[in-house]
Chains A and B, each alone.
Chain A
Amino acid sequence: MAIAADYQESACRAARAMVTARVLEDKLRSLYKAGKIVGGVYLGRGQEALSGVLGTQLIPGKDVFAPLIRDQAGRTGFGEDLLDVTRTYLGSVEGPMRGRDGNIHRGRPDKGMPAMISHLGAAVPVVAGILLAKRLKGELDGVVGATCIGDGGASTGAFHEALNVAAVEKLPLVVVIANNQYAYSTPNQAEFSGNLADRAAGYGMRGWEAKGNDLADCLEKVGGAVAAARRGEGPQLVVADLLRLSGHGEHDDGAYVCEDLKKGPLGRDCMDIAKEQLLSSGFIEEGTWENWEQEAREKVTEAVALTQREPTPDAHGEVWNACKAVGAETY
């Protein structure tokens, strides 16, 4: 499917974020397998088109983006430094989390990217609260807040409460559900009944359904949702079908994923689809995509090499105080 010429710039920005994310995550996978990363590694493999489009539709420095675990492409698209990723995964003290938290829990709240916790749905009201505060400060005009969740996280009470609040307050919140068919190992039929997209009407929100592995469709639907929120049309719920092309984390081989899904349309890699679409639309030439990959490899290699030379935390020098204003090490 060719992409309309109007989308050339946004399609290419999203695609570059996708490419960087895939290259980076391949490296993270290798580092994990080599024992260089402790704890979990959670990849967005198969979700790059959806996430990358969302991240690049947002405006860094103005909008808010609360990514979840499979949003490397969105993070990169929203301007996350590669070093934030490598430093957090490798535990460098130079990173935003300083070894105190790892992997995908990183964030830069001062740059509009809150740091997630593992409890699913918890970030949704936080983005709503940021938007509410911006309204109180008179700074909400033209701002969008976005966050992502999965088919599993959409089952939580936190998710429901937050969507309801966002709808009541008519906040410019875009919630993207990546339905990757499995919540860890639990398939859709054991996770929810009916169609996730129908829930939008239940909240009084506008709903969008996207083909999550299709760059062109994500540009139209996710881009449409972000634009509608930016115009002041209230919260938007996007449900995108796709397939997770990895385990839940790199400790998991995903053996439970149904073979028919892998062979079917959802199993097609969004990277292949995006590359074909950019080429057939005349947005890139033969070799451009490979050049992007090569550039990404060089940047990723550089970031990993720099990070590996940096110090890891010193437990003796650590300040063991979880509060800011109340005295150090008292409880």
Chain B
Amino acid sequence: MSEVAYIDAIREAQRELLADDPRVFIYGQDVGDFGGAFKATQGLKAAFPGRVIDSPIAEDAMAGVAIGAALEGMHPIVEMQFADFSSIAFNQMVNHAATYYWRTGTPIPMTLRLPSGGTPGSGPFHSQMMESLYAHYPGLVVVAPATVGDAYHMLKESVALEDPVIYCEHKLLYRWLKADNFENDSLPLTKARITRPGKHATVVTYSAMVHEAVKAAERLSEEGWEIEVVDLRCIKPMDTDTIMASIARTGRLLALGESFPWGGVTAEVVSRVASDGFHLLDAPPMRLNAKDTPIPYHPDLWRAHRPTPESIGEALRKLLNF
């Protein structure tokens, strides 16, 4: 296989899901002949006529339709054009899809794909990370793949799962992140991965920030620090065991995310480590997130809004020198 990108993994996983499972169909804006805003469904309508369906601009109804189809035994994939617009589908996901199995015993096996995160010039409404919001609600599984192999395998596992899954795919990785093939290490869907082993401090992160953390770790290695990077992969449920084992090795935690700073995934990580692993810590646990403003349009502002290898490195030096 020649080189493949993160977006190819998402497209190929969907192609195989459609080919292998008659319960799967895709519903979303412009996903048909047009192939989706990011071309994640390019060619799929032609290959699977009638099973790749263009929806009106109606995010609430798109999620609602998927819930109904799931009740009927289907395993629909809904593509939100941008994660930001899933705020309109939020009610259906958190109050309807998420509560259904608990209330009735009938599962809702649907997958909501969220093209997430910032890219230069995308601005306040095409750059958001929504994983913390969905993860707050019981009844949803929330995943955020950071690698090509994970994008492929975790999408296939998500669609097969009998629970509603929020699949957060990072737009910055779509074309930039490449691999030789779609293989991964066969970690189960809900397990975190040690992306880079280390012994002086742990960065717990996910999605595109995994790559920023690795860049920061590489720079710090030149100063003699060995930084461990944990890729959560699955936000909810969160693999606390892998986090704790890493903190036991390093004694220091930086929880890193691209979301807004109030609450969220990084706060959850710090809270778990502080309450269950206080005795393991050699320094106060730290958090680094995006800034508490809407996501800026101008690339110079955008780059300063989210954590960068520089700001991550700076945070790590503080943590290491405590």
Contact = CB atoms under 8 A, between A and B. Distances in A.
Interface of A: 96-97, 100-101, 105, 107, 109-110, 114-115, 117-119, 121-134, 136-137, 157-158, 161-162, 164-165, 168, 321-327, 330-331
A136 B74 contact: yes
For B58, B74, B99, B104, the residue with the greatest tally of chain A CB atoms inside 10 Å of its CB is B104
Interface string B156-181: 00000111000000000000000000
Contacts of A125: 58, 60-65, 67-68, 92
B143 to A, nearest CB: 11
Contacts of A131: 68
10 A-B pairs closest in CB distance: A129-B68, A125-B64, A133-B72, A129-B65, A161-B61, A322-B139, A161-B58, A322-B138, A133-B69, A126-B68
A100 B102 CA distance: 7
Interface in B203-252: 236-238
Contacts of B103: 97, 100-101, 105, 115
A114 B92 CA distance: 14
A118 to B, nearest CB: 8
B27 to A, nearest CB: 8
Interface in B98-113: 98-104, 106-107
Most A CB within 10 A of own CB, among B91, B98, B103, B162: B103
A145 to B, nearest CB: 9
Given A119-B96, A129-B66, 7 more contacts: A122-B96, A129-B68, A129-B72, A130-B71, A136-B74, A158-B92, A168-B56
Contacts of A123: 64
A330 B272 CA distance: 13
A321 B70 CA distance: 20
Nearest to A97: B103
Contacts of B238: 331
A136 B67 contact: no
A97 B66 CA distance: 22
A49 to B, nearest CB: 28
B74 to A, nearest CB: 5
Contacts of B141: 323, 325-326
Interface string B25-50: 10000000000000000000000001
Given A130-B72, A161-B60, A164-B58, A109 B66 contact: no
A133 B68 contact: yes
16 contacts: A96-B104, A97-B103, A105-B103, A109-B106, A114-B68, A117-B96, A118-B95, A125-B67, A125-B92, A129-B70, A130-B71, A161-B58, A325-B161, A325-B163, A326-B141, A331-B236
